């Protein structure tokens, strides 16, 4: 219809410049328009006695529009554009041959539907005008002799790199356009901005043809599982599971450790969104590795079941994590905190209690030399701990070097720092004026930093309800109830304004208003906390002996402090496309002991496969070493890495990763947004298979390749004559109605 009314397709108007081709001066056009306006107004004035003002206005508007339209047509409107020169240009056609194109949509597969567009008959119009350059792509792009014989389905797809490969090869053939036929699935991530900029730089419009349905109501997909790569024995691990769906309903998730069933969870799928998140708690009983598998029960009519399951491996280290707690005064909080954490099998708590100006009472030490001189004065000594707790102490008790070490302990070492309120703590201790103050989640100052010995109830915030370390129960309702029933804390300390990245987990109610009690924020590689009370001991003193909420609070908080602390030598393995990437990281790459080391690793699968590799330094990332390998089969791969200096073994560590092929069965819905992003950025257009016949005329207006200038006249377009007829007919009907003919 558009082309019938305006003679040319819409693309011609988008890619062309508008001109008046008569050659007559524009001033004459304006002069004649002014004369016509005067004559029409004169005639209306002469008729003013027989019509009302609004009737005159309508007739005048119609007559002015007719005069303007006639003059516009006489000046011969036209489009000037660059068009591809027939017979001199090529068009590259990229066909997605990844495994996702083999999925069935309707009665046939996406690939069969795509091949129907690429038969010699369907390509006839394009072939008459352009040289067709056939390509297939999955992980990489390959030139084809034709589209009749295609390669085997690829196990991964990489849109960005495949397009770049095609453009680099095909632009030597005066490429006028590129047609991309794909479902948009890209399991390498997505096209980066750098890749898109490079693609755009070729100046070739890319027309994308989207294959497959955008909504698949009969399919559930386990879109993502997010959980830590390591956990402490005796803790509860929380996994966030995202489920992709296109209709409301109920989904059931089951969790296995290897072949052992762990737990199940029912999730209500919302009708208002196509992705629902669920949180599943998993108990971590003992050191070792959790070979976790999350599985969705299928729904009625579901065909693709391979996207209902995802696997992940969690390391559970055997070593104890180390916390250093330094306290400036004997008090109940010190006693009960030490008792709660001292019995935790995953944590070694070393304490320094100041008893005189120059003497500390040490507990939880390995030998007489440990902390003999009080707080560490050397980085390597402090950095051997995973978390640091500072109680009621003034900043003046620490040298400037020690203060710098505390800051670096969080930002560089990746440890956690928690400061506890007290008569000499937080703002009253002058910490806000030190380099440590910038680490903390609150701006501390002496002003309004009063430590108030007054009982106050504790309130769990919305963020606190989501924090695993603050859960007394798996039930959200029961957990909130258990917090509300806790006795009041014995005291609290006022804080300054919170920093932008700070999160408040607990509050205290004071005089009808709430103020922060437990606050945290990330800083550098680590995390900092403020507990604005020294009075949680009242929970232990006021609750029955069998009530373990005080111990649970401190043990979960202590474990949270150390859970993400980097070990001296860490190893991780992640699945990327069809490879397992092994990454080793040294905590102190500048330490003399880590200079000149070589790292090797051995990966062994449960099927007996062995892979030896050397991990090489990563440029620009001191202390980071990396390598990768392509697994021969699916399964669990255990990986052990060792560091050597010459012939001497320095250290060793282990990790594991599960490799499962079949990534092409995830993200099976057409990714129209990505295809539209590609076409819009390059000057092309997104099309559906039903619009295949319209692509040829649109390609003609490409400015790439060898072009010629063309002028397309519009004055004889049916639209203008139909509009003139409509204006005159409307005027005539109104005149008859008003009896002024």
Per-residue model confidence (pLDDT) at position 474: 77
Per-residue model confidence (pLDDT) at position 536: 94
Nearest to 502 by CA among 444, 449, 566: 444
User: Any idea which fold 569-663 has?
Assistant: Immunoglobulin-like (2.60.40)
Q: How far is it, in rounded angstroms, from Cα 631 to Cα 638? A: 12
DSSP letter (8 states) at residue 566 = P
Per-residue model confidence (pLDDT) at position 251: 93
In the chain, the N- to C-terminal Cα span, in Å, equals 35
Q: How far is it, in rounded angstroms, from Cα 93 to Cα 181? A: 8
- Tell me the pLDDT tens digit for each residue of 130-178: 999 999 998 889 999 988 888 888 877 888 999 999 999 887 788 889 9
Residue 270, Cα to own-chain centre: how many angstroms?
A: 21
Question: Check: CATH 2.40.40.20 for 221-318?
Answer: no
- Tell me the pLDDT tens digit for each residue of 613-654: 999 988 888 888 999 998 888 888 889 998 887 777 778 888
Question: Check: CATH 1.10.3470.10 for 86-213+670-705?
Answer: no
3-state secondary structure 107-165: CEEHHHHHHHCCCCCCCHHHHHHCEEEEEEECCCEEECCCCCCCCCCECCCCHHHHHHH
Q: What is the DSSP string of 340-382?
A: HHHT-TTEEEEEEEEEETTEEEEES-SSTTTTTTSS--SHHHH
Q: How far is it, in rounded angstroms, from Cα 211 to Cα 18? A: 35
Helix count and strand count (H, E) for the chain: 18, 36
Per-residue model confidence (pLDDT) at position 651: 80
Per-residue model confidence (pLDDT) at position 220: 92
Q: How far is it, in rounded angstroms, from Cα 281 to Cα 239? A: 6
Q: How far is it, in rounded angstroms, from Cα 2 to Cα 487? A: 75
Per-residue burial over 184-213, b = 16 or more CB atoms within 10 Å of its CB, e = otherwise: bbbbbeebeeebbeebeebebbbbbbbbbb
Residue 290: both structure tokens together? 């959790």
Q: What is the DSSP string of 410-450?
A: HHTT--EEEEE--TTSGGGGTGGGSGGGGTSSB---STT--
Per-residue model confidence (pLDDT) at position 664: 60
Per-residue model confidence (pLDDT) at position 587: 74
Residue 3: both structure tokens together? 């082309």
Q: How far is it, in rounded angstroms, from Cα 532 to Cα 461? A: 15
Residue 405, Cα to own-chain centre: how many angstroms?
A: 34
**CA torsion 481→484→486→488, rounded to 10°?**
180
Residue 551, Cα to own-chain centre: how many angstroms?
A: 37
| 569-663 matches 221-318 in CATH topology | yes
Angle between helices 332-342 and 549-563 (to 10 degrees): 70
Nearest to 236 by CA among 460, 468, 416, 477: 468
Q: Give the residue extent of every domain in the chain.
A: 2-83+710-738, 86-213+670-705, 221-318, 321-563, 569-663
Q: How far is it, in rounded angstroms, from Cα 47 to Cα 111? A: 71
Indicate the pairing of strand 321-327 with strand 108-109. Answer: unpaired
CB-based burial label for 337 (10 Å; 0-12, 13-18, 19+):
buried
User: Any idea which fold 321-563 has?
Assistant: Rossmann fold (3.40.50)
Residue 716, Cα to own-chain centre: how many angstroms?
A: 53
636-639's contacts with Cβ under 8 Å and 24+ in sequence apart are 636/291, 636/313, 636/605, 636/606, 637/573, 637/580, 637/603, 637/604, 637/605, 637/609, 638/289, 638/603, 638/604, 638/605, 639/571, 639/573, 639/582, 639/601, 639/602, 639/603, 639/604
Per-residue model confidence (pLDDT) at position 619: 87
Per-residue model confidence (pLDDT) at position 271: 85
Q: What is the mean pLDDT of each run of 10 residues along the chain (741 residues)?
A: 77 73 84 87 80 84 89 83 76 92 86 92 88 91 89 84 91 87 80 88 93 91 86 83 92 92 91 88 85 92 86 84 92 91 86 87 88 89 93 93 94 93 91 92 84 92 90 87 93 91 94 92 93 93 90 91 84 82 80 73 88 89 88 87 80 84 75 93 93 87 69 81 89 83 64
Answer whether 302's CB lies under 8 Å from 366's CB: no
**Which spans in 171-192 are helix H?**
none
In the block, residue with structure tokens 């027989």: 50
User: Quick count: other Cβ atoms within 10 Å of Cβ 741?
Assistant: 8
Indicate the pairing of strand 108-109 with strand 104-105. Answer: antiparallel
Q: Which residues contact 474 (CB under 8 A, 6 or more apart)?
A: 281
In the block, residue with structure tokens 């062994």: 604
3-state secondary structure 461-484: CHHHHHCHHHCCCCCHHHHHHHHH
User: Quick count: other Cβ atoms within 10 Å of Cβ 330?
Assistant: 11
């Amino acid at each position: 219809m558009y082309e019938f009314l305006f003679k040319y397709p819409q693309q011609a108007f988008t890619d062309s410049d508008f001109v008046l081709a008569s050659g007559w001066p524009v001033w004459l056009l304006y002069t004649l328009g002014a004369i016509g306006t005067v004559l029409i107004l004169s005639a209306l004035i002469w008729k003013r006695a027989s019509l009302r003002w609004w009737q005159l206005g309508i007739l005048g508007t119609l007559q002015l529009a007719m005069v303007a339209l006639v003059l516009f047509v006489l000046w011969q409107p036209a489009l000037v554009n660059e068009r591809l020169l027939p017979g001199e240009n090529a068009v590259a056609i990229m066909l997605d041959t990844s495994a996702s194109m083999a999925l069935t949509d309707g009665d046939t597969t996406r690939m069969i539907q795509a091949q129907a567009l690429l038969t010699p008959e369907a390509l006839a119009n394009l072939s008459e005008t352009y040289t067709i350059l056939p390509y297939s792509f999955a992980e990489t792009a390959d030139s084809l002799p034709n589209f009749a014989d295609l390669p085997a389905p690829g196990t991964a797809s990489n849109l960005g790199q495949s397009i770049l490969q095609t453009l680099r090869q095909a632009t030597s053939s005066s490429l006028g356009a590129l047609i991309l036929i794909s479902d948009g699935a890209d399991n390498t991530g997505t096209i980066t901005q750098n890749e898109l900029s490079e693609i755009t730089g070729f100046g070739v419009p890319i027309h994308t043809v989207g294959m497959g349905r955008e909504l698949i109501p009969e399919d559930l997909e386990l879109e993502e599982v997010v959980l830590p790569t390591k956990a402490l024995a005796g803790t509860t691990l929380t996994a966030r599971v995202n489920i992709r769906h296109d209709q409301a309903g109920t989904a059931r998730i089951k969790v296995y450790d290897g072949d052992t069933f762990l737990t199940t969870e029912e999730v209500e799928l919302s009708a208002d969104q196509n992705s629902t998140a669920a949180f599943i708690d998993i108990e971590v009983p003992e050191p070792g590795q959790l070979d976790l598998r999350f599985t969705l029960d299928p729904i009625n009519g579901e065909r693709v079941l391979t996207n209902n399951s995802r696997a992940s491996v969690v390391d559970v280290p055997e070593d104890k994590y180390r916390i250093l707690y330094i306290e400036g005064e004997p008090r109940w909080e010190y006693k009960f905190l030490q008792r709660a954490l001292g019995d935790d099998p995953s944590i070694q708590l070393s304490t320094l209690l100041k008893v005189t100006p120059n003497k500390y009472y040490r507990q939880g030490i390995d030998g007489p030399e440990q902390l003999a001189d009080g707080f560490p004065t050397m980085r390597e000594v402090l950095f051997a701990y995973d978390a640091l707790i500072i109680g009621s102490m003034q900043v003046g008790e620490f040298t400037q070097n020690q203060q710098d070490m505390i800051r670096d302990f969080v930002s560089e070492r990746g440890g956690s720092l928690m400061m506890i309120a007290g008569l000499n703590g937080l703002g009253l201790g002058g910490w806000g004026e030190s380099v440590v103050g910038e680490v903390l989640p609150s701006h501390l100052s002496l002003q309004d930093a009063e430590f108030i010995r007054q009982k106050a109830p504790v309130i769990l915030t919305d963020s606190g309800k989501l924090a695993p370390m603050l859960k007394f129960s798996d039930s959200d309702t029961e957990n909130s109830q258990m917090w509300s029933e806790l006795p009041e804390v014995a005291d609290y300390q006022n804080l300054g304004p919170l920093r932008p990245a700070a999160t408040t987990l607990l509050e205290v109610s004071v005089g009808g208003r709430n103020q922060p009690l437990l606050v945290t924020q990330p800083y550098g590689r680590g995390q900092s906390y403020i507990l604005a009370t020294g009075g949680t001991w009242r929970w232990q003193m006021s609750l029955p002996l069998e009530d373990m909420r005080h111990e649970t609070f401190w043990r979960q908080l202590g474990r949270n402090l150390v859970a993400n602390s980097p070990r001296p030598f860490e190893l991780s393995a992640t699945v990327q496309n069809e490879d397992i990437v092994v990454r080793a990281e040294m905590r102190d790459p500048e330490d003399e002991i880590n200079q000149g080391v070589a790292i090797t690793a051995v990966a062994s699968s449960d099927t007996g496969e062995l892979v030896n590799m050397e991990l090489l330094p990563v440029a620009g990332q001191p202390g980071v070493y990396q390598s990768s390998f392509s697994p021969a089969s699916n399964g669990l791969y255990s990986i052990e890495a060792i560091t050597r200096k010459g012939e001497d073994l320095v250290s060793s560590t282990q990790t594991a990763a599960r490799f499962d092929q079949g990534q092409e069965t995830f993200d099976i819905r057409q990714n129209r947004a990505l295809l539209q992003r590609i076409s819009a950025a390059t000057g092309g257009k997104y099309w559906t298979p039903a619009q295949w016949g319209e692509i040829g005329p649109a390609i003609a207006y490409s400015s790439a390749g060898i072009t010629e200038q063309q002028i397309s006249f519009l004055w004889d377009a049916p639209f203008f004559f139909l509009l003139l007829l409509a204006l005159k007919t409307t005027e005539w009907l109104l005149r008859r109605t008003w009896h002024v003919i």
